[in-house]
Amino acid sequence: MKKYLRWQGLLGFVAVIGLLAGFIYVFAGWLIKLTIEEAGGYALGAEVNVESVDVNWSPFTLTINEFQATDPKNPANNMLQFEQAGAQMDLWEYLLGRYVFEKVRFTEVAMDQPRQSPGEVYTSSSEDGKGALKEDVKDLAVSIPDLQTLLDNSNLITVQRAEELETALDEAKATYQQSKQALPDKEKLQAYETRIKALKETEIKTVEDVVKLQKELEALKDDIRADKEQLSKVKDDLVASKDKLVNAGKALKQAPSEDWQQVKNKYQLDTLEVEDLAHILFGEKAREYTEQAKELYAFIKPYLPAGSGDSGEAGIDKVQVGRFVHFVDDNPMPDWLVKDGKISLITQLGRVEIDLSEINTQNWLRNQDSQIKFFSDSFSNGQLDGNFAYFMQKSGDFIGDGQWAVEDMLFKKSEPSGAKFSLQQAGISAKGQLKLNNSQIDSDNSVQLLQPKFTSTSGSPWIQEVIKSLSQQASIPAEIRLDGSAFAPSIGINSNMDQIVRDSVTAKAKGELDSLKTEYQAKLNQKVADKLKLSEQEVSEITDLNAWIEDSEGTLNKLLESKIDDFKEQQKEKLKDKAKDKLKDKIGNIFG
Amino acid sequence: MLTQILKLFIALNSEDSPKQIAYAFALGMIIGLTPLLSLHNLIILFIAFLVRVHLGAFFVSFALFAIVGELAEQPFAQVGEYLLTMPALESMWQSLYQFTFFKLAHLHHTLTLGGLVIGLVLFFPIVYLINYLVLEYRVHVMAYILKLRVVQMLKSTRIFQMYEKLQGV
């Protein structure tokens, strides 16, 4: 036996075990502190600090002092911090591979608090979408237009039409002047009459006289025809000019109405639609809370043992490799369990006390719901009360159900918000219920804003009007519904806020708009009238000239067609008579 | 660790039984491949101290295989997961689970079981392999190694001489 065993080796074994046990006993606190800082930092991607960890061996209790977890997206702040966490742990269960906490107490838990010095960030974090959220809250650009701005607008149809009329007027004037100069005057007409009279009185004795007369007649006719053609051209020009002027005048008369239509479309004066204010106000808050829940879940997820249905998700870092596989036991226990817990949470609105009972992720083992109750009697001067219970089934299905209510809460921002539209102060009463089925959320919430006061940084008089009207409301109710994925829920908001805006502000704005319309159109009409007056004068002059032309044309036609032809016939007849007389004389001489 | 390496070196070049070195190496391997703070490791440590195996080889092996174990955590856990969730073995695990020792030894932990099973499977092949390698070393390599200048220098160090005295070589 001695050949195989060395009994003195037992001393060495005891010494090694003793040293190991002694090391653990003495340095347990330091080792746990180191583990929390290293594993937490690895999982979070940012510095995790623990001031100290105290270990009490009977009963086995861990006390973590001054815990701070840096926010990787904002290293100047802590994502989570608490003053003290005490956990009374069942050591025997721990040795069997389970984490069973009889009592857990967290004091002064707070999120998003500034650090004394910025924490180290180990991994670069992606954009959290907060910026995009802010961008979603668009500027409320709707505003009642200023009259002078409208009138100074060079794109006004009226201005364009007035310019067109002016051009037409100038053209018409030029045409009129040219026409007047080119027209045969009265003297010229009289000269024609004198020439015709002279021709009529011409004595024709010989055939040469006839030829000469014919030539003079043709010359007179050519002169008259030329003038007639000139008259006809002038007449056409004047008619075209007049038509152009009349059309431009008509277009100008319609221009103010068309301009008003354009202004109404541009400034949405008909519909008076504003941005969906309820979505901006309530949606932003709902998204904010969802983001916080998501961040909190991401923080604690690495510490949650995988459930039976969770075979490990790619891309999610695990703090530990491997897991305990538990089988049916007389006294089944979850992998981890918090039997009784209390958290004192400091929020911006006040201290919230949270009671935890039977918290674990394997509820089917003990067939008990996990219960979370929260209460605050100083939640921004009001009262908060709520509870949430969940049950994790063996299949991995998660079913949660909760209710919450807030009464007489006073919401007040200490400083004016820089937002385009924000709630500055209001009394809030609200209640809601929440159902979770795996990662699907179904939540209905109702909120009453009492005596709300809104603010805006927008200089738009329209928004100021909206703010004023909303601030005059005694209460503004809203129904907020969340459904879909719990981490990116679709948020439906039903509030009569927009209706209040439409009802009150629209009515008020309508009078202003009507007077604006009247004044605007009066000013435009005035602009139009001067031009139209000028154009009408011009048209009248053109019409007079046209009448004179037509008269002259008639005179010329008469001269051409009647008198000269008559004269020609007379001269022909005279010549015929003379020829007959000559023939008679010759015949008389022959027979006589 | 340098001390342990020297001890191993001395053992390799001494008349110590190659089996003592081989078994020590295999025991060290099991501790190295499985999570350190486990009940079965306490037993292996106890055996290593009590049975006449070469402690230097045991600790060197533990250090070497601890690195292997760290690198191969995932596949070891997968082996454990496979065994613990195998339907054919469920009744066996169910029976074993009723023993407190089984739970205290964390044999229902995937990494512990996976590492331990792989360690146990490799135990005798490692014993055989190391035994063979030591014998071959002593026959073919030892003389050449001892002539190396580095080894001569090492042997001239005070620590080596001190251990020579202690070992009585």
What single letter denotes the amino acid at residue A40? G
> Between chain A and chain B, how many beta carbons pairs sit less than 8 Å apart?
75
Residues in chain A with CB shorter than 8 Å from the CB of B103 are 96-97
B112/A9 Cβ within 8 A: no
Q: Which residue of B has its CA nearest to A326?
A: B108
Number of continuous H segments (helices) and E segments (strands) in chain A: 14, 13
Helices B2-12 and B18-33 meet at what angle, rounded to 10?
A: 150
Domain coverage including residue B16? 2-167
Angle, alpha carbons A413-A290-A439 (nearest 5°) = 160
A10/B50 Cβ within 8 A: yes
- Confirm whether pTM is higher than 0.80: no
The whole-angstrom separation of Cα A493 and Cα A444 is 10
B111/A324 Cβ within 8 A: no
The whole-angstrom distance between B155's CA and the closest CA on chain A is 27
In a domain, A568, yes or no: yes
Number of CB atoms found within 10 A of residue A423's CB: 22
The whole-angstrom distance between B110's CA and the closest CA on chain A is 5
The whole-angstrom separation of Cα A90 and Cα A102 is 7
A322/B114 Cβ within 8 A: yes
Give yes or no for A314 touching B (CB within 8 A).
Answer: no
The whole-angstrom distance between B160's CA and the closest CA on chain A is 22
Q: Identify the three-state secondary structure at position A448.
A: strand
Domain coverage including residue A219? 147-273+515-591
Q: CA of A6: how far to CAs of A561, B8, B131, B169, in Å?
A: 158, 19, 21, 20
Give yes or no for A173 touching B (CB within 8 A).
Answer: no
The whole-angstrom separation of Cα B70 and Cα B68 is 5
Residues in chain B with CB shorter than 8 Å from the CB of A328 are 94, 97
Nearest alpha carbon to residue B130 among B35, B60, B32? B60
The whole-angstrom distance between B159's CA and the closest CA on chain A is 22
**Token pair belonging to A227:** 């003038």
Q: Identify the three-state secondary structure at position A119.
A: coil
Q: Average pLDDT, stretch B124-145?
A: 87
H or E segment to which residue A313 belongs = none
Backbone CA torsion sign across A343, A347, A351, A354: negative
The structural domain count of chain A equals: 1
Q: Buried (b) or exposed (e) across A265-296, using 16+ Cβ within 10 A?
A: eebebeebebbebbbbbbbbebbeebbeeebe
The whole-angstrom distance between A311's CA and the closest CA on chain B is 10
A322/B46 Cβ within 8 A: no
Q: Identify the three-state secondary structure at position A166.
A: helix
Give one word for A273, left, alpha or beta, with left for phi > 0 and alpha for psi -120 to 50: beta
The structural domain count of chain B equals: 1
B104/A322 Cβ within 8 A: no
Q: Name the residue among B49, B76, B97 with its Cβ closest to that of A12.
A: B49
The whole-angstrom distance between B39's CA and the closest CA on chain A is 10
Residues in chain A with CB shorter than 8 Å from the CB of B50 are 5-7, 9-10, 13
A13/B49 Cβ within 8 A: yes
In a domain, A457, yes or no: no
Local confidence pLDDT in tens for the 592 residues of chain A: 667 788 888 898 899 899 989 998 999 999 999 999 998 888 888 999 999 999 998 889 999 999 999 998 889 999 899 999 999 999 888 888 888 999 999 999 998 889 988 988 887 544 444 443 333 334 433 445 555 666 666 577 777 777 787 787 788 778 777 777 777 677 777 787 787 777 767 776 776 777 787 787 778 778 877 877 777 787 787 778 778 878 887 887 777 778 777 766 766 555 544 445 666 666 666 667 767 676 666 666 655 545 444 433 333 344 568 888 888 887 788 888 999 999 999 988 889 999 999 999 889 889 999 999 999 998 888 899 999 999 988 888 889 999 999 998 888 777 766 666 777 888 888 999 989 888 788 999 998 888 888 887 776 666 677 777 788 888 888 888 888 887 778 888 887 776 776 665 556 555 655 666 677 667 766 766 666 676 677 777 767 767 776 776 676 667 666 555 666 666 677 777 777 777 777 766 665 5
